[in-house]
Amino acid sequence: MLATITNDLDKIAPSFEIQPEQIQIIQTPAEFYQTLKDKISKAQRRIYLSTLYIGKTEHEFISTIRAALLANPNLRVSFLTDALRGTRETPDPSSASLLTPLITEFGPERVEVRMYHTPNLTGLRKKYIPKRINEGWGLQHMKLYGIDDEIIMSGANLSSDYFTNRQDRYHLFRSKDLTDYFHTIHSGVASLSFDFQPSDAPGSGGYSMTWPSSNPAPSPLEAPNDFRAAASKHLSHLLTPSNSPAKLQAVASSSPTTTVYPILSLVPLLPTSTELPALTTILTSLSRAPLHPSTWTFTAGYFNMMPSFRRLLLSTRPSSGTVLTAHPHANGFYGSKGVSGMLPDAYTHLAKMFLRKVRHEGLDGAVELREWKRGWLGRRAGGRTSTAPPREDGNEDPSLTVVGSSNYTKRAYELDLEANVIIATTDPGLRRRLGEEVRWLGEYAEKVDEREFEKPERKVKLSVRLSMWIVRVLGGAL
């Protein structure tokens, strides 16, 4: 029955057949951090880290990378972060000032620091939009943590709160082919990014930011349209099914039961993506026989799904559907100053509108909204779950899941760079582990209904709605 979906996915994205035991599901932020450090400390050839930012005080993490470089002279390290987020605190300490000393010590042949800058924020927009909210015009948001022939896919950034108290999803893949593929994606975007080098110039923040002449496109700040055209030519071929590795002839007893599909959204650089078409295929399949009615769980740290995605999700009319999101007090922007401090209320408003739509669709008996209320949750850019168990064997554990950086928002599909994987499996053991993941992710969540949003503390101010409108008018997104 799963073939109903995978046959279509084979036409959209590359596919990687692996054994179930090649996937490790990491449970907690602390386990994620420890696993990452353990893998880095044993790295022999390559480390590539794509993330939104690396926390400016992550000296222990950087020390782990430094020790690996000292221990292995053949090791090369490449960092790819977002230029807006990675330099926001300049001239105070920032991601950029944290990373460039590694270049001083080990040289540019062994350490590369690249930061992507959106072509959507230039000129007067860049000059006048405050740094705290300019992320709304596009970011490097992929989370790819590759070490030698293994990769961790997640929605977590590399900072102390994500290592300690912000719950996310983290899947470790022991697959050279898959790690090689994402290294190609990482390198492709890095070549379309600014190069950072150490600098001791006054006011520099400890780094210099230049656009190398070897980049295959002009600077997005100087020629954004030409940048997009060149970037599209440079990257478009990397997303097609032709990037699937050659399939080896295998005996029936060891035939893979699990397929991994990388899906990406690089719309600022490409006219199309594979993430939205793939997820559209999945949700459309769930709305009709033989997969209807299905059960699914959708998780997002920030409740702001794109309207067309919401329509697709509800059109599945599941026997049971759960949306899991963060309570405002567990949101990464809770208590922030200025406009960003309004974001938790903005997501509250959107959650209320979602429940109203669920009721209008007659689905209030099948679809529920649950909020994480445990104090340490902060699922900013968290990994997501979408499950569709075949029902002929009575097994309610997931047969399909989506893990990665996407928030399924307008920003994710129109402005940010996102990387995810779909895992499709018929293996009972892996399905059981995926089911366990869904259950403990929901362990500290409580069901909420429309009455919850009528409480005085959940009322959304007019100023919040006005700010949401202003961001949209200026071409940004939450």
Pairing outcome for strands 144-147 and 46-50: antiparallel
CB atoms within 10 A of CB 446: 13
- Which single residue is written with the structure tokens 């994480």? 372
Q: Which residues are catalytic?
A: 141, 143, 148
- Which single residue is written with the structure tokens 């800058």? 117
294 residue type, one letter:
S
CA–CA distance, 309 with 478 (Å, rounded to integer): 15
φ, ψ for residue 131 (rounded to 5)? Answer: -60, -35
Long-range contacts of 361-367 (CB under 8 A, 24+ apart): 361/314, 361/317, 363/314, 363/317, 363/321, 366/317, 366/318, 366/319, 366/320, 366/321, 367/314, 367/318, 367/321, 367/322, 367/323
What is the dihedral angle through the alpha carbons of 384, 38, 93, 117, rounded to the nearest 10 degrees?
-50
